[in-house]
Amino acid sequence: MTPAPTPAVAPRSDSAARPALQVDDLHVHRGEAHVLHGLSFTVAANRVTALLGRNGAGKTTTLLAILGLLPGTGSVTVDGEQLLGQPTHRIVADGIGYVPEDREVFSELTVAENLKLAARTPEAADRLDLVHDVFPILHDRRAQAAGTLSGGQQQMLAIARALLNPNRLLLVDEPSKGLAPAVVIDVVEALERAAAETTILLVEQNLRVAHRLAADVVVLDHGTVVHDGAMADLFADEALTQRYLGVSGS
């Protein structure tokens, strides 16, 4: 997939950008494993920030901690409001959306029922037309059981559930994983639509997809932040991408 020459949002102006998400000294254990070792980073409002790293670097753990699905210590604030210690249902109700890795749709329910369950605000009914405009196939298959959809269509449904509600922050985990290139293009275009109205923290192994969507990047290695800055700078530095991601940015 050929990346766009510019990211989905304008280059960052550090003097004007305010953080929508601020993570300070975040530590998370999973069982006996100390997975996150004092993460600190910010995500500017109304932008896409990519959270990158090799497998096992702590990317998904970071999203789960922000969402309250894993306990952590330190500080995680969205628009200045502390999330750590809050139950997940309250965090979600407060405008934090999540597109999980591996889709996690309700397989025995129809597409329409999956979307109905995801609606959490009165605005959701008005946004259903937006969802069907972004993913027309979901309208065509609204009576079909979600478990019988293709992998790409299930990913569309997972994203649609998040788009159905207005979010202050959208956490997206591996949206292109396992998808055919043509489907990846559809998913990327949907996330570009979402990026026009909300802040996104994106975990993505496909560096070209991350480069197209994100203006900013945070790179993790063994549970610590080893690089943060402009995506264009990371993409242009082959030595850096090889060192921390094991791939070439070119």
Domains and CATH numbers, the chain: 19-245 (3.40.50.300)
CA distances from 169 to 48, 223, 243 (A): 10, 22, 30
Higher pLDDT residue, 225 or 245?
Answer: 225
pLDDT digits (tens, 9 = 90+) for 15-61: 345 689 999 999 999 999 999 999 999 999 999 999 999 999 999 99
CA distances (Å), origin 159, targets 61, 68, 132, 156, 191: 20, 20, 12, 5, 8
Residue 83's closest CA among 196, 169, 173?
A: 169
Given the structure tokens 């304008």, which residue do they identify?
A: 10
Query: Rounded to 5 degrees, what are φ and ψ at 231?
Result: -60, -40
66-83: average pLDDT: 96
Residue range 86-106: mean pLDDT, rounded: 91
Predicted TM-score of the model (pTM): 0.86
What value does the mean pLDDT of the chain take? 89
